Amino acid sequence: MISSAAPRGALLSLAFLLWTAAASAEQPQVVATPEEAGFSRAGLARIDAYLKNEIDSNKIPGAMMLIQRNGRTAYATSMGVRDPATKAPMSDDTIFRIYSMSKPITTVAAMMLVEEGKLQLEDPVAKYIPSFANVKVGVENKGEGGAVSLDLVPVKKPMTIQDLMRHTSGLTYGFFGVGEVKKAYVDAKLTDGDFDNAEFAERLAKLPLAYQPGTTWDYSQSTDILGRVIEVVSGKSLYQFEKERILDPLGMKDTAFYVGDAAKGALVAEPFPNDRTIGNNAEMADPRVVKKWESGGGGMVSTLSDYARFAQMILNGGVLDGKRYLSPRTIAYMGSNHISPSTGVVPGPYYLPGPGFGFGLGFAVRTEAGANFAEGSVGEMSWSGAGGTTFWVDPKENMFVVFMAQTVKERTRIRVALKNMVYGAFDK
């Protein structure tokens, strides 16, 4: 059932609420009362009231959210509009730009190749993309008069596949933060024109690294390069590989890199016009404009129900509908902390997982319960998108949550509030 809300902009269809009617032979999933799923009715109603207020006060145009616990759909909502211009209501087929929530999907795809012995975590990236054999690290030096120069020094050890998965490659992003290497990314106009993953990798390999590989967590275009590695190993485009191995088998029919079907163009969720700038100067892209680049790090679109299938598979330990995608031990390995003190990795100045979190392979991993403003369980696996989407998988509580909205300005504040409200709604 839908939680005990009061008014909503648009209720989810019965078909969506029963999205997992036969989702897993191991753990059949049903729509439940809040109490059956371990939540208080009043607690879930507070989430309704919060989201309704965000919409009514014009903070966000609309939102969708799903809470699944112990195999039961405890809460599902769809509120507001998907497009402020058309006023079309949110619906279960609304398509969202998920940006960095692409990263867990790409990393799962790569780990399939690891399980098959076709890729090894310790492999140098240059084994698959030779131009990365010549990368240098940019070291800033301040001269007389305060002028900053960038010296290029050799890498002390090669960038590895594991580095790509855990953001310790030395690569960075240019759209936020400061520094000479980030400036070089901006000046290089990396995303200008129509290019494919192979060309993008060549563009990136010409730029300096921000850190020595394996030393520092720095949010980066590592997963874009991982996507190119998948192409080289598999002999297929990234989308073709993911479609065949993950998206089609999971039934993620609306998850892709672009919305190429003109008939579905009106289903794309849009933010308010003044809420489209990401970081320093990046604008939200239009997924209806199909290009060659398939950004494994931030280029995908999806629906709430599609991403819920992916999250449930992760929560189930790599299996859904009786089909196994990854070993449960592989999922557990991805959800362990790969930047613990024993690795020698240190957080960079833009450590997005935040206090109480380490980082695994493709996911932030919660290592402490009380070191963050947001509630949660140790062992939680999560990540978010720059356009306002977020999800987390909580194995301890046998729960996953997916939230979809398109907002840059309000995303961080809303994520923290919703996490605290979800755990605050627990009744047992």
Residues 273, 410: one domain?
Answer: yes
pLDDT of residue 1: 30
Q: Which one-letter amino acid corresponds to residue 92?
A: D
Same domain, 413 and 342: yes
Tell me the residue range of the domain where 269 lies.
14-108+237-351+380-424
HSE-CB for 182 with a 13 A CA cutoff: 16
Q: What is the pLDDT of residue 350?
A: 94
- Distance between CA 98 and CA 323 in Å, rounded? 25
CB 209 within 8 A of CB 171: yes
Regarding whether 184 and 84 lie in a shared domain, the answer is no
Whether 159 and 125 have beta carbons less than 8 Å apart is answered as yes
Residues of the chain predicted below pLDDT 70: 1-30
Q: Do 250 and 384 reside in the same domain of the chain?
A: yes
Is 307 inside a domain boundary?
yes
Q: Which domain-ending residue is among 170, 204, 234?
A: 234
Give yes or no: residues 79 and 162 share one domain.
no
Supply the pLDDT for residue 6. Answer: 34
Output the domain CATH number for residue 82.
3.40.710.10
Q: Which residue, of 171, 205, 234, is where some domain finishes? A: 234
In a domain, 197, yes or no: yes
In order, the DSSP letters of 279-325 are: TTTEEPP-TTS--S---TTT-EEE-HHHHHHHHHHHHTTSEETTEES
Residue 405 maps to a domain? yes
What pLDDT, on the 0 to 100 scale, is given for residue 271? 98
Q: What is the Cα–Cα distance from 340 to 286, expressed in whole angstroms?
A: 38
According to the model, what pLDDT value does residue 30 have?
A: 67
CB-side neighbour CA atoms (13 Å) of 33: 6
Output the pLDDT for position 145: 73
Quote the CA–CA distance of 240 and 408 in Å, as a whole number. Answer: 30
| Half-sphere exposure (Cβ direction) of 428: Cα atoms closer than 13 Å | 6
Same domain, 303 and 398: yes
Cβ-contact 280, 176 below 8 angstroms: yes
Q: What is the pLDDT of residue 143?
A: 77
Does any domain span residue 93? Answer: yes
Our count of domains for the chain comes to 2
pTM summary value: 0.94
CB 32 within 8 A of CB 4: no
SS3 at position 379: coil
Q: How far apart are the first and last CA of the chain?
A: 19
